[in-house]
């Protein structure tokens, strides 16, 4: 172990310490906490606190629209204790606790959800966007003079000349150019997220020796042309788009999958590989339906999912629209327009009216149902298509059959009578819950009853009832206790033609006895209605009158069978959810399902909304027509929803933000740090970057060159600034500690996808040729061959490992990955099955001569994992590491047990006891409801062997054969102790005989275990390497009646000082078919352990 530790630590180095320093440089509050504040806390403060504690009025000296002011407190002291809601006066006040003044002073107590949000906010430490409080009385700067709101002007020079000038002014210079091997890997990871091979690195080194710049340009060009480029950069855009393959909530058991989200992901990959101009790339994602030929199901329609792959917030339309506004404005413009939801933006020139102008755009658009989304392709296999179509038809038939059951039930004559009678009774019931309760008692569908009630109000219970319903009104006016007495007079009056009663109703009244109660009136009308619906009536004007009111809303009889779901009860919906889930599963997984686009289309008429005062939908202000941001002109949009006009404004060269924002994000991926720290907030709170000239030069050139992202990459990658080594000197640490002057390259850790893909790649598992398609779950076998971009992103049940390695949370727009260092990351790299599988594969692919790891094996591993030759001292350390690991693996063999049967034999001459004819049990599995066990035959019990079996700490001998467990010693000359209680529980039979037999020393112990008894069997002995100990249980005198037993022998090492070190126990180390304990991870070979250490190393985990 002594030689293993330094090698292990040297390779791992400061992997996690370096990452920790990167994390420490992040903002005070993580973006998800700022997001929580903006969406869940600021609206509550604005609605309930700002009137008395805002920027103009500070009652009791308390101001609540600035974090610093809240922390200062009021004239009476502190009001919050960050991290301790229970001790915070503000939290006590909103909870109306004793001893504090209840808040808010006016109106009701805050909703429980609002109180919970504020408590969580205080617990977090009051996360708040960075603020710059203006001194009292100071003049406010014109926000439109902010650097980011100025037109993009191209400065003279190049990236290197601008960076070099600042370095020179600071008395610094560029770091040396990175060596060719480092640069080769850096460019590969930057552009494709994959590793170069050893051969790639060597070829690049040779090319650089001739002409370094030409070699670099050629490498960049080749990688930009690779499909892997689009996969890598698409994943980064999907972070911006808050991409997920599922909704964020599961309600009533509904399937949360977005079955067509993958078509958006694949569209992004293809668009980037095709180098689609970025302006068009953005426009398609906002208004593809307005840009492709009308009526054509163009593949570009898939781009519209940018608006639709977000959370659905349990169908909360306001939150969905807010999410879209946030994704568009922060994602494309770098503006926090969402902060103007409840009030004018506190810092940027964005009034609430602008927020609701954008809201009106999306409110004038709608998303069709899944089955109505346009098909943009076709499955390739005809048999799959036919199978899919058949299964869809089967689900549709099941749905229609169920709807028809409901449809027929509500039209049954007896049910119509009951609904009509109840509808009349319901007229006097004012409380909705009482009405629903009464309907439930009568086993009526409340929605059907509602429509019959509306029917009566429209046609019967009004001053001038419909001719068909005149009699209904007359009977309804009779008191219940006088109904039978007065009904004949009503009938006599109604059958007179001058009363205007419809002839069909009049004839029915005339030929029936006068009704005795109102239920009989309802039955009369039910008969008329059902006769009409059955089509048995004569075709005359009187029946036409009946038909007209029945077949038009609000009559429930006007609803066709296909729409019967509007009458479903909660119980019915359970069945429909089951069908819907089956359809979604089919769409999500079936190879014959056609790809569809998650589109957003214009409503027939635009639907502008009024401003929500303080963000409250129930308090409306002036209408906010669809239009552009006021700060950039505020033009009104007139074409449909306005999405196309919005897209044109965002993608315009005149827009000062769009190019700067994307250039800044691209730069961040190349350097590990953006030029502008707030990558999605270019508002007035964000300082002018040190390298603004570089940003503006690249943004202007980017637009000049047709918004080409590939040309932008080429320009940055060809610069000396990018190609610097990540070397830090004492002088640079002093003068450029944060590397704002770009005096060196930043050291970057691989993100989750690059790390995982690299491990699959070096292990030979990755299939880079398979591009696109439906999302693959991490647990699927196929996942180990696919790039990480194709893994399922489940918003509802996010995978643990990606999140552990800082995968973007799909609940929010994520413009940049924030690097963290947590113990779970190291534990995953050391202990996970994924790592073990990759390292085992690597070892299996590495040539080994003989039984030990030679220098060629070490070099082969280094070539594959680290893409370089191992230095002589590294070869020596690696071989020592493997030798030490070999010793440990020998000890690991002490866990292994074998199971079988044999015969106890005694040598007549010497008297030595031995085990003869040992045969291993061939079958492993469950017998009935039992746990896993070993048996001699699949059928148990069997004719030949009876009840013979061995399980984890238990067993049963056969009628002719004893049960035998064997343990083989991996030690030479080592003293061990055997112990363990064997118990035969049953009182029946005559017991079992037990032996412990050594193939070297013969009998160690022999005991008879009588019925319903137990014996603690203990023995000390010295064992040799490969000595076999057999633990034998045999039925006494071949009588196997009730001979089940429990026995879990324990073996311990007896150390020199007498101390016992546990080795193995038969039940906890019970071995499966692979010959290894089912409860232990299988020991890796020394070479596999070496491979795993190399993949855990700094050199592998970091880009440089």
β strands within 285-425, DSSP E: 365-366
Taking the CB of residue 1017, how many other CB atoms lie within 10 A of it?
A: 21
444 and 535 share a domain? yes
**pLDDT for 24:** 34
CA atoms of 456 and 633, how far apart (whole Å): 54
Mean pLDDT of the 1014-1036 span = 96
Residue 755, pLDDT score? 98
Residues 337 and 418 in one domain: no
Residue 686: inside a domain, yes or no? no
At 11, the pLDDT band (50, 70, 90 cuts) reads low
Cα–Cα distance for residue pair 1030/1003, rounded to 1 Å:
10
Number of H helices, E strands in the chain: 40, 21
Per-residue pLDDT, averaged over 94-112, amounts to 87
Q: CB under 8 Å to 925, separation ≥6 — which residues?
A: 932, 933, 935, 938
**Same domain as 433, residue 311:** no
CA angle 872–878–882, rounded 5-degree value: 150
Confidence grade of residue 140 (pLDDT, cut at 50, 70, 90): low
Q: What is the pLDDT of residue 13?
A: 53
The pTM (predicted TM-score) of the whole model is 0.81
Query: Tens digit of pLDDT for each residue in 637-653?
Result: 999 999 999 999 999 99
Specify the range with the lowest mean pLDDT, choosing from 239-243, 535-539, 783-787: 535-539
Distance CA 343, CA 351 (A): 7
Instruction: Pull the structure tokens for residue 959.
Output: 């009628």
Asked if residue 133 has pLDDT above 70, the reply is no
Q: Which residue has the tokens 């000062």?
A: 656
pLDDT digits (tens, 9 = 90+) for 793-834: 999 899 999 999 999 999 999 999 989 999 999 999 999 999
Same domain for 516 and 614: no
Tokens coding 237: 């855009």
| Residues 617, 534 share a domain | no
528 with 634, same domain?
no
425 and 339 within one domain: no
Residues 874-889: b if buried by 16+ CB within 10 A, e if exposed: bbebbbebbebbbeeb
1046 beta partners: 954, 983
- Write phi, then psi, for 95 (nearest 5 degrees): -90, 0
Q: Report the domain count for the chain.
A: 4
CA distance 127 to 26: 14
Nearest Cα to 444, choosing from 428, 476, 469, 421? 421
**Tell me, what's the pLDDT at 147?**
98
pLDDT above 70 for 730: yes
| Unique residue bearing structure tokens 């850096």 | 186
Coil vs helix vs strand at 181: helix
Which range has the worst mean pLDDT, 48-62, 88-102, 335-349, 1003-1017? Answer: 48-62
Q: Which long-range contacts link 407-415 to residues 24+ away (Cβ below 8 Å)?
A: 407/559, 407/561, 407/564, 410/445, 410/448, 410/556, 410/564, 410/567, 411/530, 411/533, 411/557, 413/526, 413/527, 413/530, 414/526
Question: String of b and e for 21-31 (b: at least 16 CB within 10 Å)?
Answer: ebeeeeeebeb
- Is position 52 within any domain? yes
Q: Which of 39-43, 284-288, 389-393, 513-517 has the lowest mean pLDDT?
A: 39-43
- In 246-266, which positions are buried (b, 16+ CB within 10 angstroms) versus exposed (e)? bbbeeeeebbbbbbbbbbbbb
Nearest alpha carbon to residue 452 among 573, 544, 549: 549
Of 821, 827, 997, 704, the residue nearest 14 (C-alpha)? 821
With respect to residue 807, please indicate whether it lies within any of the assigned structural domains: no
> Under a CB-based contact definition with an 8 Å cutoff, are residues 1020 and 1054 in contact?
yes
Taking the C-alpha atoms of residue 235 and residue 755, their distance in angstroms, rounded to an integer, is: 14
pLDDT tens-digit readout, 529-570:
999 888 877 789 999 999 999 999 999 999 999 999 999 998
CA distances from 498 to 464, 493, 494, 501, 502 (A): 15, 9, 9, 8, 11
Residues 531, 487: one domain? yes
| Domain's final residue, options 650, 676, 694 | 650
* pLDDT over 60 at 7, yes or no: no
Could you count the other beta carbons within 10 Å of the beta carbon of residue 148? 22
Distances (CA, A) of 853 to 859, 877, 882: 10, 12, 7
Encoded tokens for 172: 């610094």
3-state class of 480 per DSSP? Answer: helix
State the chain's mean pLDDT as an integer: 92
Q: What is the per-residue pLDDT for 306?
A: 98
Q: Select from 531, 559, 587 the last residue of a domain.
A: 559
Q: What is the pLDDT of residue 432?
A: 80
Whole-number Å distance between alpha carbons of 360 and 609? 5
**926 and 1042: one domain?**
yes
CA gap 843, 898 in Å, rounded: 27
Mean pLDDT of 409-425: 92
In contact, 360 and 624? CB cutoff 8 Å? yes
Q: How many other C-beta atoms are found inside a 10 Å radius of the C-beta of residue 773?
A: 15
Residues 6+ apart with CB under 8 A from 468: 459, 502, 504, 505, 528, 545, 546, 549
Quick: pLDDT tens for 872-916: 999 999 999 998 887 666 666 788 999 999 999 999 888 899 999
* Burial degree of 902 (CB within 10 A; 0-12, 13-18, 19+): buried
pLDDT of 407 above 90: yes
Backbone angles phi, psi at 185, to 5 degrees: -65, -40
Query: What share of the chain has pLDDT > 70, as a percent?
Result: 96
pLDDT tens profile 447-503: 999 999 999 999 999 999 999 999 999 999 999 999 999 999 999 999 887 789 999
- Taking the C-alpha atoms of residue 446 and residue 288, their distance in angstroms, rounded to an integer, is 43
Domain end point (choices 103, 129, 155): 129
User: Do 416 and 374 share a domain, yes or no?
Assistant: no
pLDDT in tens, 64-85: 888 988 998 887 789 999 999 9
Burial of 56 (0-12, 13-18, 19+ CB in 10 A): exposed
Take residue 51 and report the two structure tokens written for it: 């009137």
CB 254 within 8 A of CB 581: yes
pLDDT at 51 over 90: no
Domain that holds residue 507: 412-559
Rounded Cα–Cα distance for residues 399 and 58 (Å): 61
Would you say how long the chain is, in residues?
A: 1104
CATH number, domain containing residue 94: 1.10.760
485 and 610 both lie in a single domain: no
Asked if residue 535 belongs to a domain, the reply is: yes
Map tokens 């035998």 to a residue: 964
Residue 959 placed within a domain = yes
**Spatial distance between the Cα atoms of 190 and 151, rounded to a whole number of angstroms:** 30
Residue 144 counted as domain residue: no
Alpha-helical segments (H) within 705-782: 709-717, 720-723, 730-735, 752-763
Q: What angle do CA 1058, 1063, 1066 make, to 5 degrees?
A: 130
Alpha carbon 918 to chain centroid, angstroms: 53
pLDDT at position 72: 86
**Can you give the CATH number for the domain in which 1010 is found?**
2.60.120
Give strand pairing partners of 1002.
998
Closest CA relative to residue 306, chosen from 253, 234, 369: 234
- For residue 417, give Cα distances in angstroms to 449, 520, 526, 976, 991: 11, 8, 5, 88, 78
pLDDT for 5 equals: 46
322 and 439 together in one domain: no
Q: What is the DSSP string of 639-705?
A: STTSHHHHHHHHT-TT-TTHHHHHHHHHHHHHHSS-SSS-TT--STTSPPPTTHHHHHHHHHHHHHT
Tell me, yes or no, whether 2 lies in a domain.
no
**What percent of the chain is modeled with pLDDT above 90?**
77
Q: How confident is the model at residue 221 (pLDDT cuts 50, 70, 90)?
A: very high
| 778 within a domain of the structure (yes/no) | no
Looking at residue 839, its pLDDT comes to 96
Ranges assigned E (strand) in 842-942 = 897-906, 913-920, 923-926, 932-935
Cα gap 411→73, rounded to integer Å: 67
pLDDT at site 770: 95
């Amino acid at each position: 172990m002594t030689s293993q530790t330094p090698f292990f630590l040297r390779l791992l180095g400061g992997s996690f310490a370096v990452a920790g320093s990167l994390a420490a440089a992040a903002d005070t509050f993580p973006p998800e906490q700022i997001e929580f504040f903006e969406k869940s806390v600021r609206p509550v403060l604005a609605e309930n606190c700002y009137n008395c504690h805002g920027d103009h009025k500070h009652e009791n000296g308390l101001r609540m629209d600035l974090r610093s002011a809240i922390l200062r407190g009021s004239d009476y002291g502190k009001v919050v204790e960050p991290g301790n809601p229970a001790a915070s006066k503000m939290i006590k006040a909103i909870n109306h606790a004793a001893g504090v003044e209840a808040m808010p002073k006016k109106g009701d107590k805050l909703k429980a959800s609002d109180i919970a949000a504020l408590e969580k906010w205080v617990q977090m430490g009051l996360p708040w966007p960075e603020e710059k409080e203006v001194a009292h009385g100071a003049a406010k700067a014109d926000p439109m003079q902010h650097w980011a709101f100025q037109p993009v002007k191209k400065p003279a020079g190049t990236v290197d000349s601008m960076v070099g000038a600042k370095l020179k002014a600071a008395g610094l210079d560029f770091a040396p150019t990175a060596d060719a091997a480092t640069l080769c890997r850096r460019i590969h990871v930057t552009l494709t997220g994959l590793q170069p091979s050893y051969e790639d690195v060597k070829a690049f080194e040779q090319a650089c020796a001739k002409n370094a710049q030409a070699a670099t340009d050629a490498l960049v060009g080749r990688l930009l042309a690779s499909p892997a480029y689009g996969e890598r950069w698409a994943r980064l855009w999907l972070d911006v788009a808050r991409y997920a393959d599922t909704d964020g909530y599961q309600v009533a058991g509904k399937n949360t999958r977005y079955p067509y989200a993958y078509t958006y992901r694949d569209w992004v990959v293809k668009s980037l590989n095709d180098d689609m101009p970025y302006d068009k790339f953005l426009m398609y994602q906002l208004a593809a339906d307005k840009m492709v030929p009308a009526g054509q199901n163009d593949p570009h329609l898939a781009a519209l999912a940018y608006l639709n792959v977000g959370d659905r917030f349990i169908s909360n339309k306001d939150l969905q629209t807010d999410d879209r506004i946030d994704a568009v404005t922060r994602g494309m413009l770098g503006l926090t327009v969402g902060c103007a939801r409840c009030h004018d933006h506190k810092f940027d020139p964005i009034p609430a009216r602008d927020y609701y102008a954008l809201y009106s755009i999306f409110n004038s658009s709608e998303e069709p149902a899944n089955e109505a989304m346009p098909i943009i392709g076709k499955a390739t296999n005809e048999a799959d298509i036919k199978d899919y179509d058949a299964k869809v038809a089967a689900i549709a038939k099941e749905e229609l059959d169920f709807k028809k059951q409901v449809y027929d039930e509500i039209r049954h004559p007896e049910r119509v009578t009951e609904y009509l009678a109840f509808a009349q009774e319901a007229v006097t019931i004012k409380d909705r819950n009482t009405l629903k309760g009464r309907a439930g008692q009568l086993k009526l569908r409340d929605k059907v009853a509602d429509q019959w009630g509306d029917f009566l109000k429209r046609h019967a219970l009004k001053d001038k009832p419909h001719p068909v319903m005149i009699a209904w009104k007359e009977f309804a006016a009779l008191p219940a206790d006088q109904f039978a007495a007065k009904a004949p007079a009503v009938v006599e009056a109604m059958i007179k033609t001058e009363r205007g009663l419809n002839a069909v109703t009049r004839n029915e009244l005339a030929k029936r006895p006068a009704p005795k109660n109102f239920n009989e009136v309802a039955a009369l009308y039910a008969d008329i209605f059902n006769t009409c619906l059955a089509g048995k009536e004569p075709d005359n004007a009187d029946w036409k009158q009946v038909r007209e009111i029945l077949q038009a809303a609000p009559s429930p009889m006007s609803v066709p069978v296909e729409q019967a779901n509007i009458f479903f009860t909660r119980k019915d919906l359970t069945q429909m959810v089951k069908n819907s889930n089956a359809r979604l599963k089919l769409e999500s997984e079936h190879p014959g399902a056609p790809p569809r686009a998650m589109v957003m289309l214009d409503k027939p008429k635009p639907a502008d909304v009024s401003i929500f005062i303080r963000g409250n939908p129930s308090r409306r202000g002036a209408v906010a027509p669809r239009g552009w941001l006021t700060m950039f002109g505020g033009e009104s949009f007139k074409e449909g929803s306005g999405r196309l006009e919005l897209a044109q404004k965002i993608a315009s060269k005149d827009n000062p933000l769009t190019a700067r924002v994307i250039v800044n994000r691209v730069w961040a991926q190349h350097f590990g740090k953006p030029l502008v720290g707030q990558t999605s907030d270019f508002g007035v709170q964000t300082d002018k970057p040190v390298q603004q000239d570089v940003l503006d030069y690249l943004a202007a050139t980017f637009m000049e060159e047709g918004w080409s992202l590939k040309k932008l990459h080429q320009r940055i990658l060809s610069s000396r600034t990018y190609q610097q080594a990540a070397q830090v000197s004492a002088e640079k640490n002093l003068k450029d500690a944060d590397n704002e002057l770009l005096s060196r390259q930043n050291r970057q850790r691989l993100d989750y996808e690059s790390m995982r893909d690299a491990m699959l790649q070096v292990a030979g598992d990755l299939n880079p040729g398979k591009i696109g398609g439906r999302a693959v779950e991490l647990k699927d076998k196929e996942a180990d061959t696919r790039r990480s971009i194709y893994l399922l992103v489940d918003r509802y049940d996010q995978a643990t490992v990606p999140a552990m390695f800082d995968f973007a949370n799909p609940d929010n727009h994520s413009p940049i990955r924030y690097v963290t260092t947590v113990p779970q990351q190291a534990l995953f790299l050391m202990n996970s099955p994924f790592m073990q599988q990759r390292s085992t594969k690597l070892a299996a692919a590495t040539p080994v001569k003989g039984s030990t790891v030679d220098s060629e094996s070490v070099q082969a591993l280094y070539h594959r994992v680290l893409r370089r030759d191992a230095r002589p001292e590294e070869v020596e350390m690696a071989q020592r590491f493997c030798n030490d690991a070999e010793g440990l693996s020998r000890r690991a063999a002490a866990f292994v047990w074998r199971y079988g049967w044999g015969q106890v034999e005694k040598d007549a001459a010497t008297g030595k006891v031995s085990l003869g004819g040992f045969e291993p049990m061939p079958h492993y599995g469950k017998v009935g409801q039992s746990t896993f066990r070993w048996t001699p035959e699949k059928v148990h019990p069997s004719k030949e062997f009876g009840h013979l079996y061995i399980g984890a700490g238990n067993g049963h001998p056969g009628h002719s054969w004893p049960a035998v467990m064997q343990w083989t010693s991996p030690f030479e000359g080592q003293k061990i102790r055997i112990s363990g209680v064997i118990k035969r529980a049953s009182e029946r039979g005559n017991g079992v005989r037990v032996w412990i037999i050594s193939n070297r020393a013969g009998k160690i112990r022999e005991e008879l275990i009588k019925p319903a008894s137990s014996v603690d069997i203990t023995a000390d002995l010295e064992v040799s390497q490969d000595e076999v100990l057999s633990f034998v249980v045999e039925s006494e005198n071949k009588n196997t009646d009730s001979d089940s037993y429990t026995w879990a022998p324990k073996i311990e090492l007896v150390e020199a000082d007498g101390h016992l070190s546990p080795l193995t126990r038969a039940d906890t180390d019970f071995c499966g078919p692979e010959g290894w304990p089912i409860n232990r991870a299988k020991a890796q070979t020394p070479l596999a352990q070496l491979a795993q250490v190399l993949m855990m190393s700094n050199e592998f985990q970091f880009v440089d």
